[in-house]
Copies of this chain bind each other. A is one copy, B any other.
């Protein structure tokens, strides 16, 4: 069992123990994911990009970021589990595409319109 499978299994047990499975439709989970992403982005909204790179040196900000990132990961893992999608495999498949699409020479140093990772 991979670490993601273990995490997904723990979330599944957590959900079933509280009889919350019926709330966890893909639609609802995608909304929860968006809500948590909103909380994460709010932590960084007033920082300059430079300040955002130093944010983990502040213990309080670091704890909040860790907590918000965990929330996003938990809902993403749960959503993927409910849909039967392997998160890591799907990511590698997407990176296969991105490595072809964003040729190293042509895109080197430029982030203009192209979203760098996918």
Contact = CB atoms under 8 A, between A and B. Distances in A.
Interface of A: 2-4, 7, 10-11, 14-15, 17-20, 23-28, 30-50, 52-53, 55-56, 65-67, 69-80, 82-85, 87-88, 90-95, 98-99, 102, 104, 107-109, 111-112, 115-118
A105 to B, nearest CB: 9
A35 to B, nearest CB: 4
Contacts of A90: 66-67, 69-70, 73
A102 B15 CA distance: 11
**Interface class of chain A by DSSP:** helix
Nearest to A19: B109
Contacts of A48: 27, 49
Contacts of A85: 56, 65-66, 69
Contacts of A67: 90, 94
Contact of A88 (B7, B50, B102): B7
The 7 closest A-B pairs by CB, nearest first: A38-B38, A35-B42, A27-B52, A31-B45, A70-B94, A25-B49, A70-B90
